[in-house]
């Protein structure tokens, strides 16, 4: 790779970002001339990459949009620092594209994980030489059950959030209406009684 002033070092790339996903993101800013990503001693993709664009303007766009931008749990670092670059006016649209690309790959990984888990279970039950019709029927049934489980989990999560919010509101209302002139001992006794009554109502 030729290193020049338009060669950028991009760091803190999330480990979940494959090279394919990363290239799709990099190509948003312009045509990539060269791309290289490091690898760890174990052979895993490194959190850094070197990219060089055909046009300097593309490097400026990348720098202006992704510098210190949160991707995953980290913020992207880009070196060397570029002076005189202007913020890309379409950065909002670009960030949406990046999120859409990331979501697409994330969903694909989830589907692959689901399929891998199904095939492992299927092979245990029927062996690798199972009938195609049995495989198709079992897969449809399993996916339906999996979707139902996810639906129930989402509902349980939603109900928990609503319950938590309701408790916070009750707590706020209680403290807002409480008489500040009462002693701490009376406050704790009264509060304990109030919590006990509230829990009884929730059980009902």
Every domain of the chain and the residues it spans: 7-97, 129-166
pLDDT for 90-100, tens place per residue? 677 777 888 88
pTM: 0.49
pLDDT confidence bin for 37, thresholds 50/70/90: very high
**Strand runs labelled E in the chain:** 7-11, 32-39, 45-53, 70-71, 74-75, 77-79
Total length of the chain: 204
For residue 15, CA distances in Å to 9, 18, 34, 114, 174 come to 16, 8, 21, 20, 47
pLDDT of residue 80: 87
CATH class, domain 7-97, is: alpha beta
Q: Tens digits of per-residue pLDDT, 141-167?
A: 777 777 777 777 778 878 888 877 777
Q: Is the pLDDT of residue 188 over 70?
A: no
Q: What angle do CA 13, 19, 11 make, to 5 degrees?
A: 20
Q: Each residue of 55-92: pLDDT tens digit? A: 888 888 888 888 888 876 778 899 888 776 656 556 77
């Amino acid at each position: 790779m030729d290193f020049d002033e338009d060669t950028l070092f991009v760091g803190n790339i999330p480990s979940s970002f494959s090279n394919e996903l990363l290239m799709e993101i990099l190509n948003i800013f312009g045509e990539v001339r060269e791309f290289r990503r490091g690898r760890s001693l174990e052979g895993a993709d490194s959190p850094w990459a070197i990219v060089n664009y055909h046009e300097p303007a593309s490097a400026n766009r990348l720098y202006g949009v992704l510098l210190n931008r949160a991707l995953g749990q980290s913020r992207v670092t880009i070196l060397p620092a570029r002076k005189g670059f202007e913020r890309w006016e379409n950065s909002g649209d670009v960030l949406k594209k990046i999120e859409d690309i990331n979501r697409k790959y994330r969903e694909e990984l989830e589907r692959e994980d689901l399929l891998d888990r199904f095939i492992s279970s299927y092979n245990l039950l029927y062996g690798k030489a199972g009938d195609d019709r049995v495989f198709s029927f079992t897969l449809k049934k399993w996916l339906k059950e999996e979707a139902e489980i996810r639906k129930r989990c989402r509902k349980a999560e939603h109900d928990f959030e609503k319950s938590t919010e309701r408790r916070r509101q009750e707590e706020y209302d209680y403290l807002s209406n409480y008489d500040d002139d009462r002693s701490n001992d009376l406050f704790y006794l009264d509060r304990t009684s109030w919590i006990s009554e509230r829990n009884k109502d929730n059980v009902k």
